Amino acid sequence: MNEDLQKRIQEALANPQNLGELANADAVGTVGNADCGEMLRLWVKFKQQDGRKVIDRATFQSFGCETAIAVASLATELIRGKTAEEALSLKTEELAGELGPLPPMKIHCAQLVEGALRSALSPQVAAGDKPAGFAATAADPAAPTLLDSFSKPKAGGVKITFLDLGPEK
Ligand code: FES
C-alpha cells in the first residue's frame, strides 16, 4: 500500500464517522469475508424528504480491518440523503470516496462495505418507496450487535452472508 493511501486511511480512522449500532434502524445488513475473517454490519435509517424516502443516517460495526473501517466511515457519510436506489447505484470505488483508488489486495475491503449496503438496502428497493413496504422491511429491533453475533449465537438469529469475492489478488 502506498504511503498516501495509508495516510488517508489513518486520517479516516483518526475520526471514524457513524461507528456503532443505530437504534431503531429500518434496515440492517451483515456480510463477512471468509478469507480474511473480516465482518461488517451496516444499519440504515430512512426519513421522508420532499416526497422521497432517503437515508437519514447509516452506521456500522466492523472487526479489525482498517481499510474496511475507513471505507465504511466515508460511505456512511456519502449515502446520507440518497434513496436506497441511489445508494445502491454507487460503485465500489465511489464508496471509498476520498481514499482514492485502492490497491488490488484492498479492493475486497471496499466490496465488503458494498456488500453490507446491498444486504441492508436490497429489501428496501424490492419493497419500493411505499411506507407500507418500509415498515414491513424494518430491521428487527432485537437484532444483536455484531459482537453479540459471536458471543451469544442464537438459533434463527442473525444471517451473515459470506461474499464470494474470488481469489485474492
Ligand atoms: Fe479483508 Fe480488509 S483485509 S476486509
The total number of structural domains in the chain stands at 1
Ligand 1 pocket mutation pick from 13, 63, 67 by most atoms within 8 angstroms of CB? 67
The alpha carbon of 32 is separated from its chain's Cα centroid by a whole number of angstroms, namely 11
> Ligand 1, from 31, 33, 42: best to mutate by most atoms within 8 Å of Cβ?
33
Known catalytic residue at 36: yes
- Position 100: which residue type? G
When the pLDDT of each residue in the chain is averaged and rounded to a whole number, the result is: 82
Handedness of CA 121, 84, 102, 17 (dihedral sign): negative
Q: Rounded distance, CA 107 to CA 141, Å?
A: 32
pLDDT of residue 159: 64
Domain extent for 67: 3-158
Residue 152 has pLDDT above 90, yes or no: no
Q: How far apart are CA 96 and CA 26, in angstroms?
A: 24
* Within a domain: 163: no
Q: Is the pLDDT of residue 21 over 80?
A: yes
Q: Is residue 169 in a domain?
A: no
pLDDT at 132: 30
60 forms bridges with which residues in the sheet? 19, 42
Q: Is residue 167 part of a domain?
A: no
Tell whether 166 is covered by a domain. no
Residue 165 lies in a domain: no
Ligand 1, residue 66: give the atom nearest the CA: 2
Nearest CA to 43 among 54, 64, 29, 62?
29
* Ligand 1 centre distance from Cα of residue 30 (Å): 14
Is 65 known to be catalytic?
Answer: no
Helices vs. strands in the chain: H and E counts, helices first: 7, 4
Would you state the pLDDT for residue 34?
84
Digit-coded pLDDT (tens) for 91-146: 999 999 889 889 999 999 999 999 999 999 986 665 554 333 222 233 454 555 66
- Torsion, Cα of 91, 96, 98, 101 (10° steps): -80
Residue 119 lies in a domain: yes
CA proximity to 60, closest of 30, 18, 14: 18
- Number of Cβ atoms within 10 Å of the Cβ of 102: 21
Q: Are 18 and 77 in contact (CB under 8 A)?
A: yes
Q: Which atom of ligand 1 is nearest to the CA of 64?
A: 2
Higher pLDDT: 160 or 153? It is 160
In a domain, 63, yes or no: yes
Q: What residues are in contact with ligand 1 under a 6 Å CB criterion?
A: 33, 36, 38, 65, 67-68, 108-109, 112
CATH (domain of 98): 3.90.1010.10
